[in-house]
């Protein structure tokens, strides 16, 4: 015998099994609902953190962000960042994505996040994006700024590197132009870094004067190697001090040896400024 209902066809033999399916149907539908992906735009003062990425026994920005989101959304939230910053490095713009199986009130979530995040991290915006968009792999550019000042200033020392010698910025900018011609930056990559390639495409590199005693270095590329910006800045400062000339700078890049480049500058003066998609 075949019985018809407005929901399913079934035979007496299958009645109990299909009845169970009917009872479970709403739950199954909820469990199989597609995941939504959200981009979170935020900034942080990196002074108190061992960088962005979660590490054992270390205070990191990623850990604080995941704890805050998990608390507010009442489930375990994992975030994927657009990149990673080292200890003490700051971000005026950072992006991370997370997935969740429901729609969110983005404005309210930003408000609540800023109520419970530490004072040195702030959320700017959350938006739903296509599920294929990735905070790291969809980014096409990153821009960093490195700040220096040439006279003692107690109000700049936390976020700028204090230097006590004269620098030839014209010469430094001429050397920086060479960066746009090159692709392999192994010379500026931290030793023993686990990277598959040291190729990067730099599209902007220049020193900009802020006032009589302070400058900042702007550099934009599709990707950066670990410690790359601080090593480039340290080597350009060697150029500005006339410790090496512009031809030496080119030879350092072509030599691909970290030992040939300048020192890595302090992290407190480095800011991740912008990420392009």
Query: How does pLDDT run across 188-210, given as a tens digit for each residue?
Result: 999 877 789 999 999 999 999 99
What's the CA gap between 20 and 18, in Å, rounded? 5
Q: Can you tell me the mean pLDDT for 206-231? A: 97
Q: Residue 94 — left, alpha, or beta (φ > 0 → left; ψ -120 to 50 → alpha)?
A: beta
Q: How far is CA 247 from the centre of its chain?
A: 33
Q: Is 101 a catalytic residue?
A: no
pLDDT at position 29 is 41
Compare 90 and 9 and report the one with higher pLDDT: 90
pLDDT at position 26 is 45
Range with the lowest mean pLDDT among 53-67, 148-162, 180-194, 207-221?
180-194
Q: What phi and psi values does residue 269 have, to the nearest 5 degrees?
A: -95, 5
Structure-block tokens of residue 277: 């998609």
Q: How confident is the model at residue 33 (pLDDT cuts 50, 70, 90)?
A: low
Label the pairing between strands 90-100 and 270-276.
parallel
- Residues with Cβ within 8 Å of 138's Cβ and at least 6 positions away in sequence, in order, are 277
pLDDT at position 191 is 83
Specify the long-range contacts of residues 242-247, CB closer than 8 Å, at least 24 apart.
242/168, 242/171, 246/171, 246/174, 246/175, 246/178
pLDDT at position 2 is 45
pLDDT tens column, 66-110: 999 999 999 999 999 999 999 999 999 999 999 999 999 999 999
Q: Determine if the pTM surpasses 0.75.
A: yes
What's the CA gap between 117 and 70, in Å, rounded? 12
- Active-site position among 6, 86, 124, 194: 86
């Amino acid at each position: 015998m075949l019985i018809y209902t407005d929901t399913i066809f079934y035979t007496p033999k299958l009645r109990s099994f299909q009845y169970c399916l009917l009872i479970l149907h709403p739950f199954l539908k909820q469990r199989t609902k597609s995941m939504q992906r959200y981009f979170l735009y935020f900034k942080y003062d990196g002074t108190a953190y061992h960088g962005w990425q979660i590490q054992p026994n270390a205070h990191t920005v990623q850990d604080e962000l995941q704890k805050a989101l998990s608390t507010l959304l009442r489930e375990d939230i994992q975030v994927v960042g657009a990149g990673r910053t080292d200890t003490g490095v700051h971000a005026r713009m950072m992006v991370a994505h997370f997935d969740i199986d429901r729609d969110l009130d983005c404005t309210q979530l930003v408000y609540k996040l800023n109520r419970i995040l530490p004072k040195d991290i702030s959320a700017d915006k959350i938006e739903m994006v296509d599920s294929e968009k990735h905070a790291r792999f969809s980014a096409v550019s990153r821009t960093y700024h490195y700040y220096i000042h040439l006279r003692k200033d107690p109000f700049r020392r936390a976020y700028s590197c204090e230097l006590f010698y004269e620098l030839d910025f014209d010469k430094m900018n001429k050397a920086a132009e060479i960066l746009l011609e090159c692709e392999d930056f192994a010379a500026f990559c931290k030793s023993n870094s686990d990277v598959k390639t040291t190729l990067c495409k730099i599209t902007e590199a220049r020193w900009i004067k802020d006032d009589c005693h302070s400058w900042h270095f702007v550099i934009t590329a599709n990707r950066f190697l670990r410690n790359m910006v601080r090593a480039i800045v340290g080597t350009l400062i060697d150029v500005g001090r006339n410790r090496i000339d512009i031809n030496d700078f080119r030879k350092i890049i072509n030599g691909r040896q970290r030992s040939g480049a300048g020192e890595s500058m302090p992290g407190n003066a480095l800011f991740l400024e912008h990420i392009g998609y």
